[in-house]
């Protein structure tokens, strides 16, 4: 693994289903983030984690949950998917949540029908 990876690359999901998007980084970064990117809108922060064992809510957290059991992994769960959650999801990490460059994963394209 080099950098930050996400899985799956893309997914089509029926509304009401539960889905977990996976994110793993090997840079030993303390901070990790989940964003969604929709056409015509900027990246919007869903949840973040300053360090292993802690999480926080971003701008659009409703309908999503996260966990940070260790430094490397930061999964995002949709408990009951809805069509408005159709989006491209990016995971990112940085050395800390202070003024640092964020490194992004390749993204997961999710379609909820």
Which residues form the interface with another protein (CB under 8 A)?
40-45, 48, 58-59, 90, 97-99, 101-107
CB of 12 to another protein, least distance (A): 17
Are 74 and 64 within 8 A, CB to CB?
A: no
- Give whichever of 14 and 101 is closer to another protein, judged by the CB atom: 101
Query: CA 83 → CA 14, 45, 57, 104, distances in Å?
Result: 9, 19, 21, 25
User: C-alpha angle 30/68/62, rounded to 5°?
Assistant: 110
Q: Work out how close the CB of 106 gets to another protein at its nearest, in angstroms, rounded to a whole number.
A: 5
Bridging pattern class, strands 31-37 and 44-49: antiparallel
Least Å from the CB of residue 69 to another protein: 23
Judged by CB, which is closer to another protein: 14, or 99?
99
The span from the CA of 21 to the CA of 10, in Å, is: 10
Cβ nearer to another protein, comparing 22 with 44: 44
CB of 58 to another protein, least distance (A): 7
| Calpha distance 12→46 (Å, rounded) | 20
């Amino acid at each position: 693994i080099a950098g930050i990876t996400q899985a799956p690359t893309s997914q089509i999901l029926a509304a009401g289903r539960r889905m977990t998007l996976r994110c793993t980084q090997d840079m030993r970064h303390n901070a990790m983030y989940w964003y969604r990117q929709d056409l015509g809108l900027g990246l919007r922060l869903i949840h973040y984690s300053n360090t292993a064992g802690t999480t926080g809510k971003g701008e659009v957290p409703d309908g999503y949950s996260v966990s940070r059991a260790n430094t490397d992994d930061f999964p995002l769960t949709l408990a009951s998917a809805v069509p408005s959650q159709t989006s491209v999801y990016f995971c990112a990490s940085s050395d800390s949540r202070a003024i640092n460059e964020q490194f992004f994963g390749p993204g997961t394209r999710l379609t909820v029908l």
